[in-house]
Amino acid sequence: MGEGEKKPKFAVDPNSAKFKLNEIVAKHYKEVQEAKDRGEKIGWCASNFPQEIFQTLGIKVCYPENQAAAIAARGAGQRLCEISEAEGYSNDICAYARISLAHMMVGETPEQNMPLPDFVLCCNNICNCMIKWYENIAKELNIPLILIDIPFNPDYEVSDAQVAYVKSQFLAAIEQLEEITGKKWSDEKFKEIMEISNRTSRAWLEATAYTKYTPSPLNGFDLLNHMAVAVCARGTVEAAEAFETLLEEYKKAVEEGTSTFRAEEKYRIMFEGIACWPHLRTTATGLKSRGINMVATIYADAFGFIYDDFDGLIRAYCNVPNAMNLEHARDKREAIVKNTNTEGLLVHTNRSCKLWSGFMYEMSRQIGEDCQIPVTSFDGDQADPRNFSEAQYETRVQGLTEIMESNKGGKD
Amino acid sequence: MFTLGVDIGSTTSKAVILKDGLEILATSLIKAGTGTDGPGRAIEAVLAEGNLRPEEIASVYATGYGRKLLKNANGEMSELSCHARGVHHLLPEVRTIIDIGGQDAKVLSLGTDGRMTEFLMNDKCAAGTGRFLDVMAGILQLRIEDLEKQADLSKQIVKISSTCTVFAESEVISQLANGVEIPDLVAGICQSVASRVAALAKRVGVKETVCMSGGVAKNGGVRKAMEQELGLNITYSPMAQLMGALGAALYAYDKS
């Protein structure tokens, strides 16, 4: 996840969703820095920690995962990974963690700077490596760590017992945050934020669902950039408005037959896994040059949280893709594949993310079999450029394309 | 009509000329791959063997890692599709292909019509590839083509437990220092490649008839070890290393 987009060479229309979304990300980093400069306590936070809680409390936080993605997309992933490795962190550890720990050590990273935290907030619904990563930051900087344990759910549905277990931790976390920052929780304010967050999520989900059209009005890779806003600003009116603008743009594009995918859409695939940020151009070009558009990704669902009350919020965060059982996660993906007429599945075997890459071996097999689509995978990494081979990627994508072509009834 | 398929691999270049999409007129194999003069030499050699001039070739298709670098090619296809096509042309009963080349190991699943329906490749690691065998032959001061004879002489296989080429290299050196017999070590090396690639094959789902293609298929030690790993017979063609080029020549015929 993140905002790895390079500065555009031409002026972007200030009324466009792209402009508004970029502005939100820029404002997000600016506001955290300003809060820090004013002497307010600011935090670093896991991407699947409820953003609504900070919004309600009026606390500024920033997201190391987004930062690491941006740093990697701007070509500095290896430099920061090597700083951590020189300090003794194994290169088997998640590259986001290595980049984040390196940033903590050096304090300034021009490719995407953010102020050092006064507290850290970790939710393990996305992965368990994050616990040690955040523990190390807390220890090194001698700051509080708030850890919310959201265990992997082996059952299909989230149980009331799990909601109660997680809810009690969040209530304690809110008290801790009040104590650390001196800010106060307001139920009224929470209701307001919840409404905005739902509005944002509805627009995000509706906009991302436009990939169901053939051809799709969007290049699926756009979502990887827009997602940063869904992570960091879901509870803001600006985010709701920006995603509503995005939705309008996609509606119009369908009517006019235009698309942000700048090639003829010959094939439609699901891309599984975090983007290979250090080689984003290579991986995206390898698809686009063959007319392959990414129209299906679990990411769209991953950051669209719809709920009615605090318990609903807890339930939603217990039900994020990396915390749900294989059958549930598979069914969600298969529904997306069917809804978008996806013709193939490309899996990023991401050396950084053992969890996601690990379960994809079996899940991708099941999806391929159930949906009758070809599947291939490539080795890479979300932020460490050393774990990717362009030639291997090319061969796998070409092989996938040739099977998709053959499935269309093309000449063998 | 003559068509030419050129397979530019990581360590070798292969070329096949087909007559009318059916008859193999000439073949060549040069031990120099992408980024060298190997592809050019392979084309010269195959034209000489076929007694043809370049202008007599109706269409040229390239495949292999260097497929995009062949100038004047009429098209290119991945080595995945080309191996599937080449094998199906010669051995239509084959449903699973295990192709081990210089830096890749692939397992392809074929439908009854010969179309590739699924494939799996090795991860970003040289273990289980021809490069692994090259490195090991180098340590043992053997020629790559002698590995098969050595493996045949083995009385007790010495297991190589490391899957990584670099770690396996030091493991082999340690075994040499322990005074183990070279044939036993070579048999262990062949088994190491076979067991790693067999795991890929099992993930795809092994459907008989199974065939090995690619340069490593020429090594009877690996073929035998693969048969033991999978518990079935492996079909082998002396054309194993030329299957990619043959497939490319067939695609060239389709498009000519």
- Report the distance separating Cα A313 and Cα A191, nearest Å: 11
Tokens of B96: 């699973």
Same domain, B108 and B124: yes
Strands (E) in A236-306, as ranges, are 267-272, 292-296
> A41 near A119, Cβ under 8 Å?
yes
| pLDDT higher than 60, residue A4 | no
Which positions 349-378 of A are in contact with B (Cβ < 8 Å)? 349, 361, 365, 368, 374-376
Domains in chain B: how many in total?
Answer: 2
Residue with tokens 């008989």: B208
Q: Which residue has the higher pLDDT, B173 or B123?
A: B173
Same domain, B13 and B54: yes
pLDDT tens per residue, range B36-77: 999 999 999 999 999 999 999 999 999 998 999 888 899 999
How many Cβ atoms sit within 10 Å of the Cβ of residue A166?
23
Helix (H) or strand (E) holding A406: helix A390-407
Same domain, B84 and B10: yes
Same domain, B169 and B138: yes
Chain A residues with CB under 8 Å of B128 CB are none
Q: What is the mean pLDDT of chain A?
A: 93
| pLDDT higher than 70, residue A2 | no
For A173-206, give the DSSP string. Answer: HHHHHHHHH-----HHHHHHHHHHHHHHHHHHHH
Same domain, B79 and B122: no
pLDDT band of residue B172 (cuts 50, 70, 90) is confident
- CB contacts < 8 Å between A and B, how many? 51
CB contact under 8 A, B118 and A388: no
pLDDT tens per residue, range A237-264: 999 999 999 999 999 999 999 999 999 9
Q: Give me the percent of chain A exceeding a pLDDT of 90.
A: 83
Same domain, B199 and B140: yes
pLDDT band of residue A5 (cuts 50, 70, 90) is low
Q: Is A392 on the interface with B (CB under 8 A)?
A: yes
For residue B28, give how far its alpha carbon lies from the nearest alpha carbon of chain A (Å).
24
Same domain, B109 and B186: yes
Same domain, B1 and B17: yes
pLDDT band of residue A8 (cuts 50, 70, 90) is low
- Report the distance separating Cα A374 and Cα A407, nearest Å: 9
Predicted structure pTM score = 0.88
Which residues make Cβ contacts (< 8 Å) with residue A37, sequence separation at least 6? none
Smallest CA-to-CA distance from B81 within B125, B118, B131, B34 is with B118
| pLDDT higher than 90, residue B88 | yes
- Report the distance separating Cα A109 and Cα A113, nearest Å: 5
Helix, strand, or coil (residue A211):
helix
Residue with tokens 């007129």: B25
Which residues make Cβ contacts (< 8 Å) with residue B66, sequence separation at least 6? B8, B9, B13, B33, B34, B35, B39
* Domains, chain A: 17-185 (3.40.50.11890)
For B236-251, give the DSSP string. Answer: E-TTGGGHHHHHHHHH
Same domain, B60 and B143: no
Smallest CA-to-CA distance from B120 within B222, B240, B64, B201 is with B201
Smallest CA-to-CA distance from A399 within B35, B97, B218 is with B97
Q: Is B81 on the interface with A (CB under 8 A)?
A: yes
Question: Model ipTM?
Answer: 0.80
Same domain, B171 and B218: yes
Tokens of A107: 């304090």
β-pairing, A61-62 vs A43-45, is: parallel
| pLDDT higher than 60, residue A411 | no
Domain that holds residue B195: 93-236
Q: Which residue has the higher pLDDT, A301 or B157?
A: B157
Helix (H) or strand (E) holding A302: helix A299-302
Supply the CATH number for residue B42's domain.
3.30.420.40
Same domain, B16 and B55: yes
pLDDT tens per residue, range A339-351: 999 999 999 999 9
Given 3-state DSSP classes, what are the helix, strand and coil percentages for chain A, each rounded to the nearest 5? 55, 10, 35
Same domain, B100 and B85: no
Q: What is the mean pLDDT of chain B?
A: 90
- Average pLDDT (B162-190) is 86
Tokens of B242: 């030329």
